[in-house]
């Protein structure tokens, strides 16, 4: 059983589990309500590395060689979200309002990395940061992201802008990119959307999304043009997942957003979640 880390300041309180580097809860003391959806499995927030989401057929081509991704204990078909969310992280630093965790991972396919994960509470905001360094002799493609779950009821509205999206296809993989968003997937103006399954990746995201109810506004910030949205019919949550690359980028022309790292080179990805008044 992992030792749960409690972080807090005057505005927020959170619990972190080194197993998976996951956040179990993030609670606003100011508004006396959760900022993240605490009943989520495998956690209210977890890191995605060394890739986010899925790759078709669990394989891709890199510099003339076929890379076959590892089998995942969490998914029969895909190396889903990588392995960082499944590993036990080592706690390397801890204070009252922050902690830093570390893992090392190596796979025959070419992933060979050390990663650090930092969670910090700064006033009314959670700052999450991933830093990954490639250790292998051969270069390898990497992608990073975060997978937060937010409370989302009939009275909650989401708002963010995007230039288009990839509709979901077979095996949760994207179909052809579309420049026109259907009403249920268009959150350019605040709306609750439809209480139905939605699992899509957006492009041209401006790096800011908001979730509003009658009391609190949750703002998500990340410097990436790709945002994943996931919801299930009848469930009181909405996932907004900033990623450094779109879903199945490994199989797209140019492999957009992915970083080719040589030995010793690093990648960084950061996200901020703020809780403010809805007024």
Calpha distance 126→13 (Å, rounded): 10
Beta strand pairing call for 65-68 and 33-34:
unpaired
Cβ neighbors of 169 (< 8 A, separation 6 or more) are: 175
Render pLDDT for 67-89 as a digit per residue (tens, 0 to 9).
999 999 999 999 999 999 999 99
**Which pLDDT value is given to residue 1?**
46
Comparing CA positions, the residue from 59, 57, 82 lying closest to residue 72 is 82
- Dihedral of CA 128/2/5/12: which sign? positive
Query: What residues form DSSP beta bridges with 220?
Result: 209, 273
What's the confidence (pLDDT) of residue 41? 87
In this structure, the number of other CB atoms found within 10 A of the CB of residue 118 comes to 17
Which of the residues in the chain have pLDDT under 50?
Answer: 1
Neighbours of 31 (CB within 10 A): 19
Alpha-carbon span 226 to 100, nearest angstrom: 26
- DSSP one-letter code for 82: B
| pLDDT (0 to 100) of residue 2 | 58
Q: What is d(CA 23, CA 8) in angstroms, rounded to the nearest whole number?
A: 13
User: Which secondary-structure segment (H or E) carries 131?
Assistant: strand 125-134
Is the preceding omega at residue 188 within 30 degrees of 0, hence cis? Answer: no
């Amino acid at each position: 059983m992992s030792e749960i880390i409690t972080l807090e300041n005057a505005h927020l309180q959170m619990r972190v589990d080194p197993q998976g580097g996951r956040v179990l809860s993030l609670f606003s003391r100011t508004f006396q309500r959760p900022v993240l959806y605490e009943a989520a499995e495998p956690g209210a927030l977890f890191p995605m590395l060394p890739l986010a989401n899925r790759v078709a057929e669990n394989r891709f081509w890199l510099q003339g060689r076929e890379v076959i991704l590892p089998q995942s204990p969490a998914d029969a078909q895909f190396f889903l979200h990588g392995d960082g969310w499944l590993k036990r992280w080592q706690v390397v630093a801890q204070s009252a309002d922050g902690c830093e965790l570390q893992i090392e991972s190596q796979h025959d396919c070419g992933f060979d990395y050390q990663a650090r994960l930092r969670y910090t509470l700064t006033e009314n905001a959670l700052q999450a940061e991933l830093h990954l360094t490639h250790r292998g002799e051969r270069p390898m493609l990497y992608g990073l992201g975060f997978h937060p779950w937010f409370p989302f009821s009939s009275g909650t509205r989401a708002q963010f802008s995007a230039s288009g999206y990839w509709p979901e296809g077979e095996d949760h993989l994207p179909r052809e990119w579309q420049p026109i968003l259907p009403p249920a997937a268009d959150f350019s103006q605040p709306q609750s959307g439809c209480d139905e399954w939605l699992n899509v990746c957006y492009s041209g995201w401006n790096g800011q999304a908001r979730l509003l109810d009658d009391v609190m506004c949750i703002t998500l910030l990340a410097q990436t043009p790709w945002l994943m949205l996931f919801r299930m019919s009848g469930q009181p949550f909405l996932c907004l997942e900033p990623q450094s690359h779109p879903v199945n980028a490994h199989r797209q022309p140019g492999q957009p957003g992915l970083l080719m790292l040589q030995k010793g080179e690093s990648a960084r990805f950061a996200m901020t979640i703020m809780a403010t008044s809805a007024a």
